[in-house]
Amino acid sequence: MSDLDNDFKRLEQKIGQKEFQQNRGLSNEVGYYIFDYRPEDELRVREYVKNIANRSTVATIGANVKIFNLYDLMMEILDDFGYTAGFEDLEKNFGMTHVIEEVNNILEMNEEHNLIVKRIESQLSDDEPTIIFITGVGEVFPLLRSHKVLNTMNQVIDQSPVIMFYPGKYDGLHLRMFGELEDDNYYRAFSLRMEWNERED
């Protein structure tokens, strides 16, 4: 069995635990986790995530799993405003830095209730426990930064556990996109890999 197989086996066991689903026993009040993985495993990770979400419902584990792909959310919102068509010209004329600024302004990413968070909130139900899977982190880089998404989400969404699937490395403080590019410091999320390694030690 490969390391990735083992990681997803551990993940499936973890999300089935009531303590995890109800955010009990955490040192902070919000259950945010990062599942980091090798970028070359991207396609396998997508398949694993989809399979786990399909199997995980209130009937099977006591909670629904909802997948939110950041790239899909971003493009849906930009398309709603009619902005997607002009970004290629915008990058050609003004550069990627300007595009990043425009996208973040449109999505109101400096606000707690930004449009990404609002879109996720609108698809959650108070009636059933939910576990949130965040994917598409590599697809939106560098337009959206993962630490900014998490920072704004954990100010608003604090009842449902959130797992972000991160194509790179997270050591409990530093985020490294694709294992090489410094994303930013982030310390509010638990590293699932570190937790599992500590248990093995």
Whether pLDDT at 163 is above 90: yes
pLDDT in the model for residue 131: 95
Residue among 188, 183, 174, 113 at smallest CA distance from 141: 183
The pLDDT > 70 percentage for the chain reads: 87
By mean pLDDT, which of 23-27, 90-94, 114-118 is the weakest? 23-27
For 179, other C-beta atoms within 10 Å of its C-beta total 13
d(CA 30, CA 197): 22
The domains of the chain, with CATH numbers, are: 3-12+28-200 (3.40.50)
Whether pLDDT at 9 is above 70: yes
Mean pLDDT of 175-188: 73
CA torsion through residues 54, 142, 101, 91, sign: negative
Paired with 182 in beta bridges are 176
Whether the CB-CB separation of 148 and 20 falls below 8 Å is answered with no
Structure tokens at 32: 């945010």
pLDDT in the model for residue 56: 93
pLDDT in the model for residue 154: 84
Q: Quick one: angle between helices 87-94 and 96-106, nearest 10?
A: 140
pLDDT in the model for residue 64: 94
By mean pLDDT, which of 91-100, 113-122, 131-140 is the weakest? 91-100
Biggest alpha carbon–alpha carbon distance for the chain:
53
The pLDDT > 90 percentage for the chain reads: 48
Q: Cα–chain-centroid distance for residue 7?
A: 17
In this predicted model, what pLDDT tens digit does every residue of 60-82 receive, in sequence order? 999 999 999 999 999 999 988 88
d(CA 14, CA 17): 5
Whether pLDDT at 1 is above 60: no
Mean pLDDT of 141-169: 89
